[in-house]
Amino acid sequence: MTDQTTTNSGRSLTAIVLAAGKGTRMRSDLPKVLHEVAGRTMLGHVLAAAQGAGATRIAVVVEPGQASVAREIAALAPGAAVYPQAERLGTAHAVLAARAALAAGADDVVIAFGDTPLITAATLTRLRAPLAQGCTVAVLAFETPNPKGYGRVLVRDGRVTAIREEKDATEAERAVTLCNAGLMALSGRHALDLLARIGNANAAGEYYLPDAVALAVSDGLAVAVVDVAEAEAQGVNDRVQLSVAEAAIQGRLRHAAQVAGATLIAPETVFFSHDTVLGRDVVVEPHVVFGPRVRVGDGCVIHAFSHLEGATLADGVGIGPYARLRPGAVLETGARVGNFVEIKNARLEAGAKANHLTYIGDAVVGAGANIGAGTITCNYDGVNKHRTTIGAGAFIGSNTALVAPVGVGAGAIVGAGSVITADVPDGAIAVARGRQRILAGAAEGKRAKLQAEKAARTKAS
């Protein structure tokens, strides 16, 4: 089998992404292409695929006035050009909104859609490969036993002759099961000419991108078909299809994690972000959610019902069950975060432990320190955030409130139930709580008084 990456080597690529759909069936104020799958927008998935396929120029066609889409493009593909599509006259018309990008020239042009988040860089690489072998057009297509609603790829004597939209197809053509996936690659030398010649003499009165095939055939130019799984090419038009895409990408991510050396006890219950990185011999128990920007080192254990986002775990870390790591959480080698512990913008150095019922925010916890149950860092004063520093080997007793900004020195001990508002020196003991009083023998009288009062209330009612 030919290495497609080698075939495309040295060839320039312009990727045109059509992202101007209104997405009315999404029933959302958010532009359709900005809905997320595995923590990344659908448009982001397509842009990543184009970049992975070697795009040297990216052009995105958008709905006019959608500043949020423009911001997403600038963030994910900083060099991409954005072109508004003022009128909706069909897919070929949409591509020509990026006429300037086509006129700039490239060896290959790939046309993709911003609502097909399952498309991969490998498939786009395969799609453009026939161009390097002399074809002018390459169409992505799939076989399906139920072709209703799809454009049909028509082949005669082993050669592609046209793509026919269903509403324009004859009964014989509608029986064809080879269907157009929508994505297309064109020779950069011929792309603008073919697209400019597409007419709208069809049932919808639209300028159809697939008509480039028939034009190329009439010019005596070679057309290739590249196969793809039907599921990969599916577009997302509503929330149901969005959930189908999410399930498909989660399946890919779970498989990749296991192949790379992680153990998922119940894979179907674990949800990844597109950028989750797990080291070797990581164990992930059921019902764990990884949000964006999580890195997990070798040999870590993520216990059940934990949620991680924007967190970095070094080797040998254990968290959960029911732990929450928020953005900026950094756990160094051997650190331990137990059940119902929340960490935000804080570093736990090697071997530090916070085993239960604790909130640590905007803090540094030194190596080997122990944080008792019910401890919180009081980091927010209603206006500003403040930091807490806990030294190596310190012991923080249960139910302690550390009112930031404050520091507890290395090896220091804080007594349970304390409210610490001033720095504790290295090696010191700090106790900050009300003094306990003992009233010997007073319990019986107190209890009798309370019971009498209760009886009186009952009688009065």
- Residues with Cβ within 8 Å of residue 395, at least 6 apart in sequence: 369, 370, 372, 412, 413, 414
Residue of 77, 184, 171 whose CA lies nearest to 130: 184
CB 347 within 8 A of CB 369: no
Q: Is 35 noted as a catalytic residue in this protein?
A: no
Q: How far is CA 387 from CA 260, 328, 363, 375, in A?
A: 38, 13, 5, 15
Two structure tokens written together for 31: 């532009």
Residue of 38, 81, 437 whose CA lies nearest to 246: 38
Supply φ then ψ for residue 168, to 5 degrees.
Answer: -105, -5
Q: State how far the Cα of 84 lies from the Cα of 70, in Å rounded to an integer.
A: 10
Total Cβ atoms within 10 A of residue 404: 21
* Displacement of CA 24 from its chain's centroid (Å): 23
Q: State how far the Cα of 352 lies from the Cα of 366, in Å rounded to an integer.
A: 7
Two structure tokens written together for 18: 């059509």
What pairing do the DSSP bridges indicate for beta strands 36-37 and 13-19?
unpaired
Total Cβ atoms within 10 A of residue 398: 17
Active-site pick, 190, 287, 356, 386 = 356
Residue type, 251: G
434 secondary structure, DSSP code? P
Enumerate the H helices of 18-142 as residue ranges: 42-52, 67-76, 91-96, 99-103, 121-132
Q: State how far the Cα of 176 lies from the Cα of 168, in Å rounded to an integer.
A: 13
Q: Which residues are catalytic?
A: 356
